[in-house]
């Protein structure tokens, strides 16, 4: 169990010196109990006090890094069961499995395909994270050569073999890249621990017999000197995976049960009958509560929704993703091009901007500062009303000087049009479509027949 503030206070120097930034030792102790500050902020702690409080200052789920380059994956260190309680911090690593039984040309092709894949969504580049290379052939040489092919992508690696000799052969190829070693079991524990220590790598442990057996194994690994641990409880299906991963997360966070306070690795492809089902199970595990997800199939049509789910879950619900307010020229607009206004919630902005761009109409897109809220939410919160829109139009050099003095507002706030014509005197207010997807048709129907059309650009 985590220590309470009073229990922590007993171990502090009790001088109220304020060096930690808090007015009293008790105030610092209370924040420490909430795991909101680091113990190291108090410079006057005795060694005994530090040792006693170590448990209170350690994160309940250890942060584990895989890889060393800028592409490294960091998983764990989560502090809540539900995203809305605070946020989830470290998105699960999505790894594609390669088998060393495959032809080298096939492996190289998969590596190139994944390396070249990436999609942009709401201003962020989304990709899968790396490769899990499995020793199916049984031979160390073939395994090492498959790892060599995967290593070319300079992405994080999971090395999968039950055989310590084959693992060492692969580690010599991937030395310095800090791959995750999968997996230590009761049978190979000593040798796998020795390899993890020698090559300074994180170590996964596999124990399907039950969570208490898994915890016993993780304690053995930890006592042997390897702290960067990833857990595989051996569950594979939808229901048992959800139950086991939730139980592990609850025990780590609510009971502060250290032996299960590590990220979890999953293999959704092992329990399903199609790539589509694999993507569904992977989505479930991204939500609850995988740290590394190893996929058996790569298809851009399935990867994109999975990346979207991950992005949506691993954004801070208290900080909407925003774009900078201002005016954005799309398709090289001129003075006679339409002026549309929207809010600075990223998803709204990118949906609208994408549709305007696809329409081919040179246009001006004016983005109001609504603190990252969408159109309807910001309107309901009084952050996208007639006064705000007027200020935004008048406060921008380009929009305020457009000679046509026509503003297209989102259809969802059509109710503002009358008030806006009063506030923005001399301006004509047009009500655009409710949905961004209808913008192209709207511009064709409404703007093009007017006296000041901007011809769509050639596409």
20 versus 413: smaller Cβ distance to ligand SF4: 20
Q: How far is the CB of 44 from ligand SF4 (least distance, A)?
A: 5
- The answer to whether residue 33 forms part of the interface with ligand SF4 (CB under 6 A) is no
The token pair at 18 is: 């304020």
Angle subtended at Cα 55 by Cα 51 and Cα 57, rounded to the nearest 5 degrees: 95
- The answer to whether residue 12 forms part of the interface with ligand SF4 (CB under 6 A) is yes
Q: How far is the CB of 434 from ligand SF4 (least distance, A)?
A: 55
- The answer to whether residue 6 forms part of the interface with ligand SF4 (CB under 6 A) is no
Position among 3, 8, 11, 20 found at the interface with ligand SF4 (CB under 6 A): 20
- The answer to whether residue 340 forms part of the interface with ligand SF4 (CB under 6 A) is no
- Distance in angstroms (rounded) separating the CA atoms of residues 446 and 338: 10
* Stretch of 13-21, 257-265, 339-347, 387-395 contacting ligand SF4, by CB under 6 A: 13-21
Q: How far is the CB of 20 from ligand SF4 (least distance, A)?
A: 3
41 versus 376: smaller Cβ distance to ligand SF4: 41
Buried b (16+ CB within 10 A) or exposed e, 440-458: bebbeeebeeeeeebeeee
Q: What share of the chain is helix, strand, coil (3-state, %, to 5)?
A: 45, 15, 40
Distance (Å) of CA 221 to CA 75, 108, 157, 229, 230: 19, 34, 21, 8, 11
- The answer to whether residue 16 forms part of the interface with ligand SF4 (CB under 6 A) is yes
Give me the residues paired with residue 326 across strands.
367
Q: How far is the CB of 1 from ligand SF4 (least distance, A)?
A: 22
- The answer to whether residue 13 forms part of the interface with ligand SF4 (CB under 6 A) is yes
12 versus 416: smaller Cβ distance to ligand SF4: 12
The closest alpha carbon to 203, from 65, 381, 55, belongs to 65
- The answer to whether residue 28 forms part of the interface with ligand SF4 (CB under 6 A) is yes
- The answer to whether residue 57 forms part of the interface with ligand SF4 (CB under 6 A) is no
Position among 6, 10, 44, 55 found at the interface with ligand SF4 (CB under 6 A): 44
- The answer to whether residue 10 forms part of the interface with ligand SF4 (CB under 6 A) is no
Position among 22, 131, 289, 349 found at the interface with ligand SF4 (CB under 6 A): 22
The closest alpha carbon to 409, from 375, 438, 445, 383, belongs to 375
Question: To 10 degrees, the CA torsion angle through 17, 20, 21, 22?
Answer: -70
Question: To 10 degrees, the CA torsion angle through 265, 271, 272, 277?
Answer: -30
10 versus 445: smaller Cβ distance to ligand SF4: 10
Q: How far is the CB of 10 from ligand SF4 (least distance, A)?
A: 12
The token pair at 310 is: 């991950």
- The answer to whether residue 25 forms part of the interface with ligand SF4 (CB under 6 A) is yes
22 versus 267: smaller Cβ distance to ligand SF4: 22
The token pair at 48 is: 């005994």
22 versus 262: smaller Cβ distance to ligand SF4: 22
- Distance in angstroms (rounded) separating the CA atoms of residues 327 and 339: 9
22 versus 364: smaller Cβ distance to ligand SF4: 22
The count of chain residues that interact with ligand SF4, using the rule CB under 6 A, is 13
The token pair at 231 is: 């857990």
Q: What is the DSSP string of 377-435?
A: HHHHTTSSSHHHHHHHHHTSHHHHH-TT-EEEEPGGGGGGHHHHHHHSTT-EEEE--SS
List the x/- string, 203-232, binding to ligand SF4 by CB under 6 A: ------------------------------
- Distance in angstroms (rounded) separating the CA atoms of residues 263 and 65: 10
Question: To 10 degrees, the CA torsion angle through 412, 416, 418, 422?
Answer: -150
* Stretch of 17-25, 114-122, 287-295, 341-349 contacting ligand SF4, by CB under 6 A: 17-25
Name the site residues for ligand SF4 (rule: CB under 6 A): 12-13, 15-20, 22, 25, 28, 42, 44
């Amino acid at each position: 169990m985590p220590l309470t503030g009073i229990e922590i206070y007993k171990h502090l120097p009790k001088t109220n010196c304020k060096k930690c930034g808090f007015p009293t030792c008790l105030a610092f102790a209370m924040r420490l109990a909430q795991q909101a500050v680091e113990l190291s902020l108090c410079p006057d702690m005795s060694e005994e006090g530090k040792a006693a409080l170590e448990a209170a200052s350690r994160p309940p789920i250890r942060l584990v890094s895989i890889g060393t380059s800028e592409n490294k994956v960091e998983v764990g260190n989560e502090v809540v069961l539900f995203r809305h309680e605070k946020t989830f911090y470290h998105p699960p690593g999505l790894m594609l499995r390669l088998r060393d039984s495959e032809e080298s040309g096939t492996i190289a092709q998969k590596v190139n395909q994944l390396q070249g894949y990436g999609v942009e969504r709401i201003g962020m580049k989304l990709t899968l994270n790396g490769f899990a290379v499995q020793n199916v052939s049984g031979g160390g040489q073939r395994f090492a050569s498959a790892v060599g092919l995967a290593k070319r992508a300079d992405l994080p690696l999971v090395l999968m073999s039950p055989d310590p000799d084959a693992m060492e052969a692969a580690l010599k190829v991937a030395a310095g890249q800090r791959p995750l070693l999968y997996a230590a079991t009761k049978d190979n524990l000593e040798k796998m621990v020795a390899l993890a220590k020698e090559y300074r790598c994180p170590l996964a442990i596999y124990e399907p017999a039950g969570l208490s057996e898994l915890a016993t194994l993780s304690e053995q690994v930890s006592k042997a000197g390897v702290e960067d641990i990833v857990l595989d409880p051996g569950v594979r299906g939808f229901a048992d995976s959800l139950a086991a991963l939730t139980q592990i997360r609850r025990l780590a966070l609510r009971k502060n049960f250290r032996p299960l306070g590590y990220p979890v690795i999953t293999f959704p492809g092992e329990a399903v009958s199609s790539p589509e089902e694999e993507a569904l199970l992977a989505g479930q595990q991204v939500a609850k509560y995988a740290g590394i997800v190893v996929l058996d199939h790569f298809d851009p049509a399935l990867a994109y929704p999975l990346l979207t789910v991950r992005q949506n879950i691993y954004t801070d619900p208290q900080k909407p993703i925003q774009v900078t307010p201002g005016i954005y020229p799309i398709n090289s607009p001129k003075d006679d091009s339409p002026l549309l206004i929207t809010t600075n919630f990223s998803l709204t902005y990118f949906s609208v901007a994408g549709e305007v761009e696809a329409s081919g109409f040179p246009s001006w897109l004016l983005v109001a500062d609504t603190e990252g809220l969408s159109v309807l939410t910001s309107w309901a919160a009084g952050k996208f009303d007639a006064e705000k829109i007027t200020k935004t139009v008048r406060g921008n050099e380009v929009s305020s000087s457009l000679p046509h003095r026509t503003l297209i507002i989102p259809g969802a706030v059509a109710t503002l049009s009358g008030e806006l014509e009063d506030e923005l005197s001399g301006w004509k207010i047009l009500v655009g479509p409710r949905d961004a997807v209808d913008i192209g048709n709207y511009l064709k129907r409404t703007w093009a027949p007017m006296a000041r059309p901007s011809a769509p650009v050639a596409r």
